[in-house]
Structure 1
Amino acid sequence: MNLQQLEYALTLEKLGSFTSAAKSLSMTQPALSLQIKNLENEIGISLFDRSRSRIEPTEQGLKFLLKAGEIVMAGKQLKEYALTLGSQFSGELKLGIIPTLSPYLVPLFLDPLLGQYPELSLEIHELLTEEILQKIRLGDLDGGIVSTPLARQGITVTPLFYESFYMYQNKEDGRSDKTLKVSNLDLKNLWLLEEGNCFRDQVSDICSLKDENTGTQISYHCSSIDSLIRMVDHQGGMTILPELTTLSLDSHQEQNLVLLEEKVREVGFITRKLTGKEHLFEVLNDKIKSSVPAPMRDKSGREVVDPGILESWK
C-alpha cells in the first residue's frame, strides 16, 4: 500500500467512474482497475460496489477512505508547511460559506483580510452545509463557515460569533413590539426558505412548526433571504431573519424588525483536522470576529439553536 494508491481510490470515490477517474489521473482504465484491485487484495476488503452505474464505496470502504483521506492530507501538509516557511501568510484558501451568511459576512471581512495579507489568495464558494462538509472531506475545500454546532468525523469546529433572530414583518399588518418572546410569535403568513437549508430547520425549531402550511396562499420556494424580505415588503406577512441580514436593511425596513429573545444562531468555522493551514485559519477567524459587531461575539447566556446537521457522513 502506498499514498499513490490511496489517491487513486479517493479520486475514484469522488468521480464515481473508472473512466472519469482514469482520465483525471492521466492513466488507462485497466491500469487504474488493477491498482484498486491490488489495494483491495492487500487490505482484505472491497472498497467499492461495482454493481451500480455510479461506483459508490461499500460501508467498510467508506470507513477506510475516510482514514485514507486523512493520511493523504497529512502528506500534503508537508508541502503546505514548506510554503509557509518563506512567507508566513501567503498561499490559497478555498472556503465554502452557506447562502444565509455569504452575502452579508464576506463583504465585512474580505477587504480587511486581503488588505493586511496581500499575498493571501481566497476562493469562496456559496454552498449548503452538507455540500461544504463533503467537499472538505474530499479535499476540494480547506474550510467552511456554517451554522454550528455540528459533530462530524474528522471535522474540527471553531465558534466565531452568535446571531440573534429577528421577525421581519410588513408594517401594515405587523405589531409595534420591539422585542418578543418566541412563544408569543404569531405564525400566520410566515415565509420560509426552501427545504434543505439549515436556517429553515432552525426557524422551524424555534417556532415549533409542525408542518409546511403556515397560512400563505402562495407556495414560494427560494434559497435567498433577500427574496423573503421582498416578499414580505410586497405581499405582506412576515419572515425570520438572522442578525447579520438586518445590517443591510434601509432605515424604512429597520422599522419592521422585532427582536426574538432567548435564542441565537451560532456561526462557526469548520475544517479537517491537521490541514497544514492552521496559521491561515487563525488570521481568517480573527478578521471575521473583528468584522462583526462586538455584541455578536457573545451569546450572553442565550440558547444556541441546533442547525440539525446529522452526525455521520452521507
Structure 2
Amino acid sequence: MNLHQLEYALTLERLGSFTKASKVLNVTQPALSLQIKNLENEIGIALFDRSKARISPTEQGLKFLLKAGEIVMAGKQLKEYAMTLGSQYGGVLKLGIIPTLSPYLVPLFIDPLLQKYPELKLEVFELLTEEVLQKIRLGDLDGGIISTPIDRQGIVVTPLFYESFFLYKNHPEDGVRSLKVSNIDMNDLWLLEEGNCFRDQVNDICSFRGKKEDAHLTYHCSSIDSLIRMVDHKGGATILPELTTLSLDTRQEQNLIKLENKVREVGFVTRKLTGKEHLFDVLNEQIKASVPAPMREKNGREVVDPGIVESWKS
C-alpha cells in the first residue's frame, strides 16, 4: 500500500468514474483500475460498488477511505505547515459555511480578523451541511461553520455560540415578546425547503412536517431572507435563528417573538491534526468576540438536534 494508491482511491470516490478519475490523475484507465484492485486485494475488502453507473464506496470502503483521507491529508498539511512557520498567522483558510449563517455571520468577524492578521487569506464557500462535511473529509476545505452538535467519524467539533429561535409574525399580538412552541399555529409557518438542517431543526422544535401553502402558491425556498419577505408580503409567520434578527429594520423588529428555552448551537468543524490549528484558534476567537455576549453561553437552554447522521446510516 502506498500514498499514490490512496490518492487514486480518494479521487475515484470524489468523481465516481474511472474515466474521469484517470483524466484528473493523468494515468490510463486500466492502470487506475489495476491500482485500485491491487489495493483492495491487499486490504481484503471491496472499496467500491461497481454495479451502478456512478462508482460509489461500499460501507466498509467508506470507513477505510475516511482513514485514508486523514493519512493523505497529513502529508499535504505537513508541507503546508512548514511553509507557514516563517509567518505564524499567514496562509490560506478554506471555509465552508451554511447559508443560514454565512450572510449574517461573515460580515461580523471578517474585517476585525483580517486587520489583526493581514497575512491570512480566507476563502469562504456557502454550502449545505453535508457538502461542508464531505469537502472537509476530502481535503477541499480546511474547516466549516455549521449547526452542531454532530458525531461524524474523523470530524472535530468546537462549539462557538448559541442562537435563540424567534417567531417572525406579521402583526403579532400586542405585548407578546416570548412564546411557548406549543402556542404556535403551525398552519401559519413558511419554512425552508427540505434538506436544509435549519428546516430539520424547526421540524424538531415543532414536531411538524408540513409547510404553509395557499390555494395558488407553493413556495420552495432556500433563503431565510426570502422567508422574511414572504411573511412581510403574504402574512403568516416563520422561525428565525438569532443572528438573522440583527439585520432587521426597526419595523421588522416589532414582528419578533422569542421562543422559550430552545437554542441552535453553532460550531466550527474540521479534521483531526490539520497543521492549521493555530489559525483555527484565532478564527474561532474572533467569531466569539464578534457575536453578542449573551450568545456565547448556553445558559441551561436546550440545544436542538440538527439531525446530522453518518452518511452510510442515512
TM category, shorter = over 0.9
Mapped partners of 1:79, 1:101: distance in 2: 32
Superposed CA offset, 1:185-240 (max 9, x none): 2323111110011111111111221x315464432111100000000001011111
Distance, in Å, in 2 between the alignment partners of 1:150 and 1:87 is 33
Question: Given residue 71 of structure 1, which amino acid in structure 2 is its aligned partner?
Answer: I
Q: Secondary structure at 1:310's aligned position in 2? A: coil
Match of 1:100, SS?
coil
**Counterparts of 1:211-226 in structure 2 under 5 Å?**
211-214=209-212, 216-217=214-215, 218-226=217-225
User: Shift of the alpha carbon at 1:140?
Assistant: 1.0
Taking the aligned partners of 2:25 and 2:205, their CA distance within structure 1 comes to 48
Mapped pair 1:238 → 2:214: no
Q: Does the Cα contact within 8 Å between 1:190 and 1:216 map onto a contact in 2?
A: no
1:233-270 Cα offsets, whole Å, 9 max, x none, are 01011111100000000011111111111111100001
Give the letter aligned to residue 105 of structure 1: L
> Does the aligned pair in 1 maintain the 2:165–2:241 contact within 8 Å?
yes
CA distance in 1, matches of 2:59, 2:265: 32
How far apart are the structure 1 equivalents of 2:214 and 2:93?
Answer: 42
Alignment-derived partner of residue 126 in structure 1 = 126
Tell me how far 1:58 sits from its aligned partner.
2.0
1:253 and 2:252 aligned: yes
Moved more, 74-83 or 245-254: 74-83
1:69: which partner in 2?
69
Is the deviation greater in 178-187 or in 149-158? 178-187
Q: Which runs of 5+ in 1 are unaligned?
A: none
Contact 1:191 1:237 in 2 (8 A): yes
Map 1:256-295 to 2 at 5 A: 256-295=255-294
In the comparison of the two structures, how many residue pairs are matched?
312
State the secondary structure of the residue aligned to 2:21. Answer: helix
Backbone CA RMSD of aligned residues: 1.5
CA distance, structure 2, for counterparts of residue 284 and residue 189 of structure 1:
39
- Per the normalisation by structure 1, the TM-score is 0.95
> Identity over aligned residues, as a percent?
78
> Residues of 2 paired with 1:59 and 1:299: CA distance?
36
Runs of 5+ consecutive residues of structure 2 not aligned to the other structure: none
Q: CA–CA distance in 2 between the matches of 1:169 and 1:45?
A: 55
How far is 1:180 from its partner? 1.4
In structure 2, what residue type is equivalent to 1:282?
D
C-alpha deviations, 1:64-91, integer Å up to 9, x for none? 1111111111222311220221111111
State the match for 1:149 in structure 2. 149
Alpha carbons 1:189, 1:216 under 8 Å: kept: no
- Distance in 2 between the 1:297 and 1:47 partners? 43
- Which structure 1 residue ranges, 4+ long, deviate > 6 Å from structure 2? none
Contact 1:12 1:18 in 2 (8 A): yes
Match of 1:106 in 2: 106
> Alignment partner of 1:191: what SS?
coil
| Alignment correspondent of 1:203 | 202
- Displacement of 1:311 after TM fit? 3.5
Following superposition, the deviation at residue 29 of structure 1 comes to 1.5
After TM superposition, the structure 1 = structure 2 runs for residues 149-168 of structure 1, keeping only pairs within 5 Å, are: 149-168=149-168
1:36-73 superposed Cα distances (whole Å, 9 cap, x missing partner) = 12222222222222222111112222221111111111
AA aligned opposite 1:116: K
Superposed CA offset, 1:156-185 (max 9, x none): 1100000011111111x6453011122222
Question: Does 264-273 or 115-124 show the bigger shift?
Answer: 115-124
Name the amino acid aligned to 2:229: R
> Does the alignment pair 1:36 with 2:36?
yes
- Alignment-derived partner of residue 301 in structure 1: 300
- TM-score when scaled to structure 2? 0.95
2:78 counterpart residue number: 78
**8 A Cα contact 2:190 2:211, kept in partner:** no
Letter in structure 2 aligned against 1:212: G
